[in-house]
Structure 1
Amino acid sequence: MKNKKVKGTVLALGALMTGLAVSQMDAQAAHWNVDDDTIAHDPTLIRENGTWYTFYTGEGLQLTASGNGMDWNLQEPVFDEPLDWWDNYAPDQSYNDVWAPDISRFNGKYWLYYSVSSFGQNNSAIGLVSSDSIQNGDWTDEGVVVHSSEGDNFNAIDPNMTVDENGDPWLAYGSYWSGLKITRLNENTMKPQGQVHSIAQREVNDRSIENPMITYRDGSYYLFASIDYCCQGADSTYKIVVGRSDSITGPYVDRTGIPMMQGGGTIIDTGNERWAGPGGQFVYQNRILARHAYDTEDNGAPKLLISDLQWDSEGWPYY
């Protein structure tokens, strides 16, 4: 309901470091030494007044904070109970289980998009809350943004707000079904206006693509996505892929020229012996990539991984 306040006050963090520049953070290591006990799934990352914050999938929309990007402290969740309107779009949602958030700052406010859904179905909705300060945690419910239901050819989850070269906001979203979508946002309401564009999909017999993340760099738009299967612990097969385009609405093609609308996507992370199924990626300022992976040394628990994002001489990302 518009203007309804939702819980999310951040607890005092004691001796958190402040004023540390991103460039200094980058210098620590190519892969940040995140504490091995830092649980996260589908993380989104942002920095406010010297403190890093990650929001991620979980009951009430989970939130952690860190002064150094390595040691993370669990905070109060954004929602202490489900909002009344969620049940209209995701009637089989698991109580207060909120998915795949996306945090950004635009026009002087923080905008936190998130998903509510019935697992394995496209009875889903993307919601939005806003705040002047993450630390104060005074979130205002802005209601539903996009929704889908049985019979639709898309799934309204995994939102990502991005800004084009002109400073105009867009929302990418989607999972399985007919793939990933993008639409222009009204800069005042931060809700869709105009046409919905399809930007990536897999083959009909394997529709496993989700979690779009779009960033703009040096005249090109880059679409990161997660393919294959999450949520199976150490048996997860998630991978992170990327394509690029001259236009925010595509067509996006991979490094070999295969369009992402035809199943293309250059793989940049498949995991390793310790970390299975990396995905749920988020790019911060074209310099940092956060994602989750399943810890094979801890019963497949989803953990937060953060790396410096690099760009090669041909303009393709790696880490």
Structure 2
Amino acid sequence: MPKKKKIIASLLLSAMLLLQTIVPVSASTWNLTGDTNVHDPAYIVENGTGTHWVFSTGSGIQVLYSTDGKNYQRSLPIFKEKPAWWSNYVPNQAGLDVWAPDIFYYNGTYYLYYAISTFGSKVSAIGLVTTNSISGGIWKDQGLVMYSNDASSYNAIDPNVTQDEKGNLWMVFGSWSNGIYITAINKDTMKPTGNSYRIATKSGGIEAPNLVYNRDTGYYYLFVSIGKCCSGLDSTYKVAVGRSKSVLGPFYDKNGVDMKNGGATVIDSGNVAWIGPGGQDVNGTNVIARHAYSAAENGAPKLLISDLYWDADGWPYYN
């Protein structure tokens, strides 16, 4: 190679290396294939088998699985018929319509929380089923976790269970009606114990809370979906986040606004291909699943999974 070309190539290489030091490496969105129709996905990799499972809103709780995390197939739903107790708390619930499940592994058992409700109402309930083997497909109904009605301050939907830095368990839940709440979870019953505390509100809509502790940053992160869901290409959902040094908050956005006062830093507002991203589920601290409405498929809700990264200031991001 002539000397001049070698110098140019060397300069280009140096420039590329410099850019890599000042521009964060983009987190990758996985190339998913197969059946990826979901709404409000809950994602987990099963111990032992390595199978990737996605539980989502739909009849009986919809189930997808993948052996490699990329190509998904649909399995049988969790419920084939209504548990008897559903009608006691949500008498007008439509058929087997189940919302926003959450999957949590603890002490050898998988805990699948879910919500039943009627759209636009606070007549709602959170239920629980358990199994020792997702692949085995045998789930045990653990009944009611909590409920709400039109006199309640909160709406008992969108459950998410997490473990704090000391090993204690907590559940965040709620939607629109006075926002997002948190309550302690009893390790024996895996159901709430004590009071519920409001930790986030937002005019125009807030729901789908997901609480994550990042040991590397020392913060608790409250991921939420803000805006309007469930309207296909007209949806205005966005994924937003705030953080706190305490599991009970207060959670602040990047501008220092308390999430109880409407604070929320948007990290995903969608794009021309994917409208209204939300219903997110953070797995550990390095993977985030959510749904978005496909412009190419006339607003069909699709599963998106991305690697989740953390910037130098301890805030999450992905592309």
TM-score, structure 1 normalization: 0.89
In the TM superposition, residue 285 of structure 1 has moved relative to its aligned partner by 1.1
How many angstroms apart in 1 are the aligned matches of 2:165 and 2:249? 14
Equivalence for 2:129: 129
> What amino acid does structure 1 have at the position aligned with 2:59?
E
Q: Is the 8 Å Cα contact of residues 90 and 124 (structure 1) preserved in structure 2?
A: yes
Equivalence for 2:207: 210
Q: Does 1:117 align with 2:117?
A: yes
How many angstroms apart in 2 are the aligned matches of 1:36 and 1:52? 13
- Structure 1's 182 and 163: CA in aligned 2 closer, same or farther, altered over 3 A? same
SS at match of 2:71: coil
> In proportion to residue count, which structure has more helix?
2
How many angstroms apart in 1 are the aligned matches of 2:171 and 2:303? 24
How many angstroms apart in 1 are the aligned matches of 2:245 and 2:198? 15
SS at match of 2:282: strand
> What amino acid does structure 2 have at the position aligned with 1:214?
L
Q: Is the 8 Å Cα contact of residues 44 and 282 (structure 1) preserved in structure 2?
A: yes
In the TM superposition, residue 317 of structure 1 has moved relative to its aligned partner by 0.0
> What amino acid does structure 2 have at the position aligned with 1:45?
Y
Equivalence for 1:51: 51
In the TM superposition, residue 195 of structure 1 has moved relative to its aligned partner by 2.1
- Structure number, greater radius of gyration: 2
How many angstroms apart in 1 are the aligned matches of 2:202 and 2:66? 37
In the TM superposition, residue 215 of structure 1 has moved relative to its aligned partner by 0.3
> What amino acid does structure 2 have at the position aligned with 1:102?
D
Equivalence for 1:252: 251
Q: Does 1:35 align with 2:42?
A: no
In the TM superposition, residue 104 of structure 1 has moved relative to its aligned partner by 1.1
Q: How does 1:79-228 map to 2 (within 5 A)?
A: 79-203=79-203, 206=204, 208-218=205-215, 219-228=218-227
> What amino acid does structure 1 have at the position aligned with 2:299?
G
Gaps of 5+ in 1: 1-28
Equivalence for 1:234: 233
Gaps of 5+ in 2: 1-26
How many angstroms apart in 2 are the aligned matches of 1:307 and 1:120? 31
Q: Deviations over 1:56-99 (max 9, x none)?
A: 00001000100111110100000001111111111121100000
Give the length in aligned residue pairs: 290
Q: Is the 8 Å Cα contact of residues 91 and 118 (structure 1) preserved in structure 2?
A: no
Identical aligned pairs, as a percentage? 51
Q: Deviations over 1:295-316 (max 9, x none)?
A: 1111101000000000000000
Q: Does 1:297 align with 2:296?
A: yes
Equivalence for 1:316: 315
